[in-house]
Amino acid sequence: GGGDNGGDTYKVGVDTTYPPFEFQEGGDYKGIDIDLINAIAEDQGFNIELKPMDFGGIIPAIQADQLDVAIAGMSITDDRKKKVDFSDPYFDAGLTLVVSKDNNDITKPEDLKGKVVAVKNGTTGADKAQELKDEVGIKEIRQFNDSPSMFQEVSNGNADVLIEDYPVIAYAIKSKDLGLKTVGDRLNGDQYGIAVKKGENQELLKMINEGLQNLRDNGKYDEIINTYLEGE
């Protein structure tokens, strides 16, 4: 990456901080999403300009033509399909409950009754909390703009539980002593997709899907995943 791949330049929305999918190291953006979109761009002969932003702002920014593409650990959902077009899936994920290491009274969704839940704006985790609020009676849902702030809220005891994508929280717990643990079964299973503006970007979507397939065929996809998730 880094060089000119020829072709058009597309603005690519990424989450501000969402390791192992996107994070900053020494001023550079790294991660599975960053490497994938760079490799797709190189394969298909276009250029990208990264636009890190709060996850909750990404779909609105696509709709407002401020972004051409988003790759942000974004789960493909029926609701989002009404607003954007998705590429073929590129990663399997799903939500989990996360509590403080010494918390033993939350192991399943029903245990959220009367609890304070931290979520990140605009995410499937936030949607799940809303759903559980009606189902089991959550006391309060606190919204954060980025995952580290949400983790912090449970680490420091201000919230009882948070909801996050399993691969992301598992990676965070492994890399840092957050005082957190995942509990219970996955709350759902979903898949990440790369998003473009709905209905108007079929050519770009085709390049993205072709690039993704080429990376799967030539081993580059596995190489990227293994760079960040070796041994998992």
Site for ligand GLN in 67-96 (CB under 6 A): 72-75, 93
CB 179 to ligand GLN: min, Å: 21
Binding test (CB under 6 A) with ligand GLN, winner from 5, 124, 155, 201: 124
What is the CA 218 to chain-centroid distance, rounded?
25
Nearer to ligand GLN, 44 or 180 (CB): 180
Is residue 120 part of the contact set for ligand GLN (CB under 6 A)? yes
Pairing state of beta strands 69-70 and 195-197?
antiparallel
Which residue type does 131 have? E
Pairing state of beta strands 161-165 and 91-93?
unpaired
Is the CB of residue 155 less than 8 Å from the CB of residue 100? yes
Is residue 128 part of the contact set for ligand GLN (CB under 6 A)? no
Distances (CA, A) of 4 to 29, 44, 49, 51, 61: 18, 12, 11, 18, 25
Binding test (CB under 6 A) with ligand GLN, winner from 23, 165, 197, 204: 165
Give the position of tokens 């990140």.
120
By CB under 6 A, the count of residues binding ligand GLN is 12
Site for ligand GLN in 8-47 (CB under 6 A): 15, 18
User: In the complex, which residues of this chain contact ligand GLN (CB under 6 A)?
Assistant: 15, 18, 55, 72-75, 93, 120, 123-124, 165
